[in-house]
């Protein structure tokens, strides 16, 4: 086990070192500073991984060029912010360091430079472009990040978003629920949200069909039964 771990850390260093070399060369007496350097490198390696970026994402200027490195500056401020949060956590809980949960970059970043809930991403693209672009973006993100902690690809987020926008943007809500059902074909709550959006478009036939699919999945679901009854009787009385 130990040999495996050593092999891994050596291969990690080997992978990193070519990228580090120009940075290391700028340091005085790299031999004397060998141990802290390795600490620094593993810290940097961790940060890069937390954000899903390479070293050059922050260390973007040529060494000694004096050019500004805007992302490194943000990262520096984020480091200070993270330290501050950790101090506040200790103060808030009264627990000493070592016992209180320690916040790190990965707590928020989860493998991306710009951490955002999937609902914000889908909504912003729907609003600024259109729902087709948002659907495509969701598919792409799902392909790349499924199974990681970056985004929640469960049934809940898109249902919540569809419910929020169904009154003003029924077509968009319908498109999002169809997308959700593609990945979660047994999601009764997606069918419920879909049927609600369809009633907003006065498309009772489609809304009834959606509820009937939901009822096939959960024949005893009271909410589905109730809505179906309501919609059918309303339909008859018109
Ligand atoms: C998210 C931004 C970010 C990434 C990615 C990043 N660094 Fe850094 N790096 C910084 C910041 C900020 C500092 C300055 C930290 C300080 O002043 O305490 C720094 C400092 C350093 C230093 C000390 C010299 C200096 O420039 O201040 C070295 C060496 C270094 N990084 C190497 C790396 C390597 C190697 C990688 C890739 C494995 C990497 N960094 C990835 C932000 C980053
Ligand atoms: C409390 C949550 C939180 C923590 C902890 C956190 N960040 Fe961030 N960080 C964010 C958010 C949110 C953004 C995006 C802000 C925005 O919308 O532009 C961000 C943005 C950034 C950016 C700018 C990315 C870009 O492309 O514009 C960098 C670099 C960054 N963080 C580095 C770090 C590093 C390094 C750490 C750990 C030392 C860290 N962050 C810890 C929440 C956090």
Q: Per-residue pLDDT tens for 34-73? A: 677 779 999 999 999 999 999 999 999 998 999 999 999 9
Mutate to test the pocket of ligand 1, among 39, 58, 111 (most ligand atoms within 8 A of CB): 58
Across 120-135, average pLDDT: 98
User: Is there an atom of ligand 1 within 6 Å of 57 CB?
Assistant: yes
* Confidence tier at 238 by pLDDT (50, 70, 90): low
The CA distance from 6 to 21, in Å, is 21
Residue 47 CA: which ligand 2 atom is closest?
Answer: 35
User: Is there an atom of ligand 1 within 6 Å of 113 CB?
Assistant: no
Q: Per-residue pLDDT tens for 190-231? A: 999 999 999 999 999 999 999 999 999 999 999 999 999 999
Q: Which residue has the higher pLDDT, 18 or 89?
A: 89
* Mean of per-residue pLDDT scores for the chain: 88
* Confidence tier at 29 by pLDDT (50, 70, 90): very low
Q: List the residue whose alpha carbon is closest to atom 18 of ligand 1.
A: 76
Task: Record the pTM.
Answer: 0.82
Q: What angle do CA 124, 203, 153 make, to 5 degrees?
A: 35
Instruction: Tell me what pLDDT residue 132 has.
Output: 98
pLDDT at position 120 over 90: yes
CA 46 to chain CA centroid, nearest Å: 19
Q: List the residue whose alpha carbon is closest to atom 43 of ligand 2.
A: 108
Across 162-188, average pLDDT: 98
State in Å: Cα 170 to ligand 2 middle: 34
Q: List the residue whose alpha carbon is closest to atom 36 of ligand 2.
A: 105
Where do we find the tokens 């369809």? 198
- What domains lie within the chain, and their CATH numbers? 2-109 (no CATH), 118-237 (1.25.40.10)
Instruction: Tell me what pLDDT residue 56 has.
Output: 97
């Amino acid at each position: 086990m130990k040999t495996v771990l050593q092999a891994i850390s050596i291969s990690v260093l080997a992978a990193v070192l070519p990228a580090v070399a120009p940075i290391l060369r700028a340091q005085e007496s790299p031999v004397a500073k060998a141990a802290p350097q390795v600490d620094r490198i593993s810290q940097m390696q961790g940060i890069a991984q937390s954000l899903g970026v390479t070293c050059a994402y922050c260390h973007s200027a040529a060494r000694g060029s004096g050019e500004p490195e805007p992302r490194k500056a943000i990262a520096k401020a984020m480091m200070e912010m993270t330290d501050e949060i950790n101090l506040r956590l200790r103060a808030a809980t009264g627990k000493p360091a070592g016992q209180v949960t320690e916040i790190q970059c990965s707590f928020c970043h989860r493998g991306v430079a710009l951490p955002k809930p999937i609902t914000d991403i889908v909504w912003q693209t729907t609003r600024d472009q259109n729902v087709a672009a948002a659907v495509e973006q969701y598919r792409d993100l799902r392909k790349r990040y499924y199974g990681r902690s970056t985004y929640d690809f469960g049934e809940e987020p898109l249902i919540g978003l569809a419910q929020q926008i169904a009154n003003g943007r029924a077509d968009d809500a319908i498109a999002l629920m169809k997308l959700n059902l593609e990945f979660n074909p047994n999601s009764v709550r997606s069918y419920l949200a879909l049927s609600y959006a369809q009633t907003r478009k006065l498309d009772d036939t489609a809304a009834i069909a959606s509820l009937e699919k939901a009822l096939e999945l959960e024949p005893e679901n009271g909410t589905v039964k109730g809505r179906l009854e309501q919609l059918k009787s309303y339909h008859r009385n018109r």
